[in-house]
Amino acid sequence: MNEKLEPALRLKGIVKTFPGVRALDGVDFEVMPGEVHALLGENGAGKSTLMKVLAGMYQPDEGQIIIAGQPVRMTTPIEAKAQGVVLIHQELSLVPEMSAAENIYLGELPLKSFGRVDWTTLYERSNAILERLNCNFRGEVTVVNLSIANQQMVEIARALTVDARVVVFDEPTASLTDAEKVVLFEIINDLKARGVGIVYISHRMDEIFTLSDRITVLRDGSYRGTLTTADTNEDEVTRLMIGRSLDLSRDTATPTLGETVLEVRNLTCAPLYRDISFSVRAGEVVGFYGLVGAGRTEIAETLFGLRSADSGEILIDGEKVQIGSPPDAIALGISLVPENRKEQGLVLSMNCRDNMTLPQVQNLASGPFVSSSAENEIFDKYREKLEIKTPSWRQTVRVLSGGNQQKIVIGKWLSMQPRVLIVDEPTRGIDVGSKSEIHALLRALAAQGYAVIVISSEMPEVLRVSDRIVAMYNGRIMREFTADLVTEDSLVQAISGIKATEVA
């Protein structure tokens, strides 16, 4: 690449510690102008922390930040932005009650005399940016009314208000649809063409390999090396990242299927979904594939007693059941790993262990007291099984890395030993190593006789874990496939609403 050019930004020997955690241990990193530099590493490797140091949110204990040849010290994100460094967060950090435009220009609203906000200019400028991003909403809308994906777009729009030198994308695609991803990639390429240095963090190898020029790998807070994307492959990167190769094969052992555990007949909850019928047998993994908004999450919520259907029946072990609330569902042996870990999955202010044992805390009591040892046993078991990285069970979940938070939620529901396990986007934000382990775990659970439902928007995931795949479009089941008969094309057709025709 541009070997002779000055890097847009350089980090030298960055060290950052938190109580009990050495999050960064002498990390070097640089971005050239016009380069997409991918940052990879397992959950908790320190990627987000490094970027927060870069964006002035954390002060490094040691090390230097060099921008355009000058060492700088940045103590706030606003200062960093003034230096041309913009961070787009892994976790959305918008003010929900404000308009999109205000969020885009937060902290730097255009002003008229006497400090009054110049609304005309504000909306003009933000609408221009939103247009550039091909967004179908305007700056005047309030952020709460936007979908998660659109909120993500607002977050991205923030980066475009200044002449950025470096823009950091921390797992930007975790909640985007494929169409929105395409737009995002266009934006990135556009920025790149204008000489902006891009840092791109993601756990999706395909994205990394389409987008990036170079790849830097972190492991346990230390620098593992930088590779040129064109000269490497997924396997090499993975080995650098997790110290071994991945087994991506699908276990082909034919499952021994038991009785039908869950059956759903003509379930309807207009306008979210209509006429849903399917069944899951013990020992089987059924994948629900479809676009975001196809109604899959809503079906899961109905099965878990969070929503009531207008009509239709739910049967467990052939018996009709009423599921009026989550405790009903839990009593019937249904578990739901929800889609949104921060809002639905975790109590961020609580520690890791207490979060994990929350649904069963009543049953862990010996006498009137919660048994600490029983709780620790559960936590230790799943911490090991899911390789959750945390200095101790006492750590508040809030400070865990995104992927480790997700693992706590999964552990929480696995530890309930359910008969029917529903997982909604289980590997969002999870690193490749743990991802394949979670897939293996889901298969293993099925093999032990659980009935498993996997909702996912990632085709490789659905293909890999499912015995049967239910394709949904717009609140309806379009087709059902068995694992050996499914093809990617027919899946794509089904979820875009194209009816299956015998001759096609």
Partner 1 sequence: MLLNRLKAGGPAIAKQGILVAFILFMIVFSFMSDRFLTPDNIMSVFRQSAIIGVMALGVTIVVIGGNLDLSVGSMLSFATVLVVDLHDKVGPELAIPIMVLATLCLGAINGFLIGILRLNSLIVTLGMLSAIQGLVLIYSGGQNVDIVDQRGTWFAIFGRGSVLGIAAPIIIFGLLAILFHVIMTTTPFGRKVYAVGGNPTASVFSGIPRSRIVFTTYLISALCVAVAAIILGSRVMGSQNNVGQGYELQVLAAVILGGTSLLGGAGSILKTVLGVLMLAFIQNGLILMGQPYYTQWLVTWVVIIVAVWLDVAAKRGRLFSPIA
Ligand X SMILES: Nc1ncnc2c1ncn2[C@@H]1O[C@H](COP(=O)(O)OP(=O)(O)OP(=O)(O)O)[C@@H](O)[C@H]1O
At closest approach, how far in Å is the CB of 48 from Mg ion?
3
As a whole number of angstroms, the distance between CA 93 and CA 84 comes to: 19
As a whole number of angstroms, the distance between CA 457 and CA 425 comes to: 7
291's contact among partner 1, ligand X, Mg ion, none, with CB below 5 to 8 A by partner kind, is none
Residue 402 binding Mg ion, by CB under 5 A: yes
At closest approach, how far in Å is the CB of 206 from ligand X?
17
Residue 466 binding ligand X, by CB under 6 A: no
At closest approach, how far in Å is the CB of 216 from ligand X?
12
Binding residue for Mg ion, selected from 35, 74, 83, 90, defined by CB under 5 A = 90
Closer residue to ligand X in complex, CB, 81/435? 435
- Using alpha carbons, select from 355, 429, 423 the residue that is nearest to residue 89: 429
As a whole number of angstroms, the distance between CA 141 and CA 147 comes to: 12
Binding residue for partner 1, selected from 72, 246, 257, 370, defined by CB under 8 A = 370
Which residues inside 37-76 make contact with Mg ion, applying CB under 5 A? 48
Stretch that binds partner 1, among 168-176, 234-242, 278-286, 361-369 (CB under 8 A): 361-369
At closest approach, how far in Å is the CB of 224 from ligand X?
12
C-alpha neighbours within 13 Å on the C-beta side of residue 272? 17
Closer residue to ligand X in complex, CB, 204/307? 204
Q: What is the DSSP letter of 487?
A: -
Give the DSSP H/E element, type plus range, for residue 376.
helix 372-385
Q: What is the 3-state secondary structure (H, E, C) of 37-106?
A: EEEECCCCCCHHHHHHHHCCCCCCCEEEEEECCEEECCCCHHHHHHCCEEEECCCCCCCCCCEHHHHHCC
Q: Count residues contacting ligand X (CB under 6 A)?
A: 20
User: Tokens in use for 247?
Assistant: 């087994």
140: left (phi over 0), alpha (psi -120 to 50) or beta: alpha
- Matching residue, tokens 């293996």: 440
Closer residue to ligand X in complex, CB, 89/274? 89
User: Tokens in use for 346?
Assistant: 């975790």
Residue 369 binding partner 1, by CB under 8 A: yes
496's contact among Mg ion, partner 1, ligand X, none, with CB below 5 to 8 A by partner kind, is none
Residue 336 binding partner 1, by CB under 8 A: yes
As a whole number of angstroms, the distance between CA 442 and CA 286 comes to: 11
Query: Is-contact 495 471, C-beta < 8 A?
Result: yes
Residue 17 binding partner 1, by CB under 8 A: yes
Binding residue for partner 1, selected from 319, 343, 384, 502, defined by CB under 8 A = 343
Which residues inside 327-356 make contact with Mg ion, applying CB under 5 A? none
At closest approach, how far in Å is the CB of 402 from ligand X?
4
Stretch that binds ligand X, among 345-353, 401-409, 437-445, 460-468 (CB under 6 A): 401-409
What is the identity of the amino acid at 354? D
What is the identity of the amino acid at 145? N
Closer residue to ligand X in complex, CB, 83/434? 434
Residue 406 binding Mg ion, by CB under 5 A: no
Q: What is the 3-state secondary structure (H, E, C) of 392-411?
A: CCCCEHHHCCHHHHHHHHHH
202's contact among partner 1, ligand X, Mg ion, none, with CB below 5 to 8 A by partner kind, is none
Closer residue to partner 1 in complex, CB, 18/230? 18
Residue 18 binding ligand X, by CB under 6 A: yes
Binding residue for partner 1, selected from 177, 277, 279, 344, defined by CB under 8 A = 344
Rounded to the nearest 5°, which phi and psi values hold at 100? -60, -40
CA angle, corner 427, sides to 405 and 420, nearest 5? Answer: 95
Q: What is the 3-state secondary structure (H, E, C) of 314-325?
A: EEECCEECCCCC
425's contact among Mg ion, ligand X, partner 1, none, with CB below 5 to 8 A by partner kind, is none
Closer residue to ligand X in complex, CB, 45/309? 45
Closer residue to partner 1 in complex, CB, 17/490? 17
User: Tokens in use for 389?
Assistant: 């990285």
Closer residue to ligand X in complex, CB, 192/389? 389
Q: Starting from the edge strand earliest in sequence, which strands make up the sheet with 166-170, in order?
A: 85-88, 166-170, 197-201, 36-40, 214-219, 222-228
Binding residue for ligand X, selected from 7, 33, 34, 44, defined by CB under 6 A = 44
Residue 139 binding partner 1, by CB under 8 A: no
Radius of gyration of the chain (CA): 24
Which residues inside 402-421 make contact with partner 1, applying CB under 8 A? 412
- Using alpha carbons, select from 167, 163, 156, 248 the residue that is nearest to residue 205: 248
Which residues inside 282-311 make contact with partner 1, applying CB under 8 A? 304, 306
Which residues inside 79-118 make contact with partner 1, applying CB under 8 A? 91, 93
476: left (phi over 0), alpha (psi -120 to 50) or beta: beta
What is the length of the chain?
Answer: 504
As a whole number of angstroms, the distance between CA 135 and CA 153 comes to: 8
Site residues for partner 1 per CB under 8 A = 17-19, 52, 57-58, 75-78, 91, 93, 304, 306, 325-327, 329-330, 336, 338, 343-350, 354, 358-359, 361-362, 364-365, 368-370, 398-399, 412
Site residues for Mg ion per CB under 5 A = 48, 90, 402
Site residues for ligand X per CB under 6 A = 18, 21, 23, 41, 43-49, 90, 389, 399-404, 431
